[in-house]
Each structure stands twice: as C-alpha cells, then as structure tokens.
C-alpha cells in the first residue's frame, strides 16, 4: 500500500504566515514480495518434476585376447532379429541350430510384452534358470537389419530392462541371419529383406 507522509512546512513568506504542507510518497513493497513468493511456491508445488529419460547399459570390458572373450552357449542364448515394417523374428541359440531348418526354427512375433517378445524373453529366462541355475547366464543377442527403426531398438532395450536381462548384445544382423529370416518370410509368402548397403 502507498503511504502518504505529510510534513508540515514552516515557511512564512509572502503568504502572510500560511503554513504549506509538502507531500512525500512512500511505496510499501511487502505485499508485492508476499505475492511473488506465493506465486513461486504455487508453481513449485504444482509443477511435476520430469524424470531423466536415460537407460542403464551394462558395457563389457575390452579384451585383446580372443580366448578371453565371452563365449555364448547355444542353450543360454536368445537371438532377436529386427526386420522392416515393425516385423520381429527370433530363434533360440546363436544360429547354429536354426540354420539347419530356418523355416521351422525362426519364429515371427510382435513387440508386445504380452503374447509377443515379452513372453518369449520370460519363457527363455525361466528355462535358463531351470537348466543352468542362474539368471545371469541368459544372453540375448539383438540384431537389427537395415529396415529396422530406432524406435524398435529402444523398445527391445526397454524389454531388457523390464525383464532384468543383464547380458545382451546389440550387433548388426549377419548375412546368415538375413538368409534365415528370408527363408521364413518366403515360406509365409512375404518379400525378402534387403540388408545390403548403408
């Protein structure tokens, strides 16, 4: 609120002894500060704090000696091949057994957690625990092809976090993987994948 301080003047001059009053204004800033702090407090309470959108990745140690590299057992591995048009294929193992009969070994699925790749990861996880005795033994090999998207890759990596898969690798699809998926697509009457070029 503004205050009006009135000070009396003592000038006696031409006016014949009339007292003139000088007016000075003083603005009280307290209510404005109160309103400012109330607004800051209001927005601090009502605003949601956005969580950082980051993903925890487990990175392997670099080894120079080939004998010291991690060897993946066929029975503990699940290989996921990401194809174009949101198509997803998988097979159990690292490709040795699947290459013998790709039409029956390579299976098409979706990115859904229920009745999709989520159920496949959970089933393989339970199987590895029963057979090898440890959940850290399971290895998922993720192989994107040329037609797969960044969104598909993030979706699969999210699934790794959801199912707490500690060991997984993101590697490009080999020619053998593309050939196996193409054999499966040919059996279903779908056009083949092209994984050549950039």
Lowest mean pLDDT among 23-32, 71-80, 99-108, 182-191: 99-108
Give CA separation, 50 vs 40, 47, 54, 87, 155, in Å.
18, 9, 12, 32, 20
Does some domain include residue 17? no
Does some domain include residue 164? yes
Nearest partner of 168 among 137, 134, 191, judged by Cα = 137
pLDDT at 70: 56
Give the range of the structural domain holding residue 142, as residue numbers without chain letter.
72-187
Does some domain include residue 44? no
- Mean pLDDT in residue range 25-47: 85
Of the two residues 153 and 71, the one the predictor is more confident about is 153
Of the two residues 65 and 183, the one the predictor is more confident about is 183
Percent of the chain residues past pLDDT 70, beyond the cut: 69
Does some domain include residue 18? no
Does some domain include residue 125? yes
What digits encode the pLDDT tens for the residues 4-16? 555 555 445 555 5
Is pTM beyond 0.75? Reply is: no
Does some domain include residue 151? yes
198 — pLDDT class (breaks 50, 70, 90): very low
Give CA separation, 52 vs 49, 163, 166, in Å.
9, 21, 21
What digits encode the pLDDT tens for the residues 142-197? 988 888 888 888 888 888 888 888 888 888 888 888 888 888 888 878 888 776 54
pLDDT at 85: 81
Exposure b/e, 15-43, CB count within 10 A at least 16 = b: eeeeeeeeeeeeeeeeeeeeeeeeeeeee
- Give the Cα separation of 57 and 135 in Å (integer): 17
CB 6 within 8 A of CB 21: yes
pLDDT at 190: 81
Does some domain include residue 15? no
Percent of the chain residues past pLDDT 90, beyond the cut: 2
- Number of structural domains found in the chain: 1
Does some domain include residue 113? yes
């Amino acid at each position: 609120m503004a205050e009006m301080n009135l000070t009396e003047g003592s000038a006696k001059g031409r006016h014949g002894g009339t007292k003139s009053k000088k007016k000075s204004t003083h603005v009280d800033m307290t209510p404005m500060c109160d309103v400012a702090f109330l607004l800051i407090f209001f927005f601090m309470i009502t605003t949601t704090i956005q969580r950082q959108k980051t993903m925890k990745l487990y990175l392997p140690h670099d080894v120079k000696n080939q004998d010291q590299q991690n060897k993946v057992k066929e029975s503990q591995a699940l290989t996921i091949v990401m194809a174009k048009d949101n198509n997803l294929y998988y097979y159990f193992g690292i490709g040795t057994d699947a290459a013998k009969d790709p039409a029956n070994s390579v299976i098409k699925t979706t990115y859904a957690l229920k009745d999709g790749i989520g159920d496949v990861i959970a089933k393989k996880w339970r199987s590895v625990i029963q057979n090898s005795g440890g959940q850290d033994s399971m290895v998922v090999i993720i192989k994107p092809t040329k037609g797969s998207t960044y969104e598909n890759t993030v979706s699969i990596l999210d699934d790794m976090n959801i199912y707490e898969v500690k060991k997984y690798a993101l590697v490009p699809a080999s020619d053998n993987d593309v050939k196996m998926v193409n054999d499966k697509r040919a059996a279903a009457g779908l056009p083949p994948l092209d994984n050549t070029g950039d």
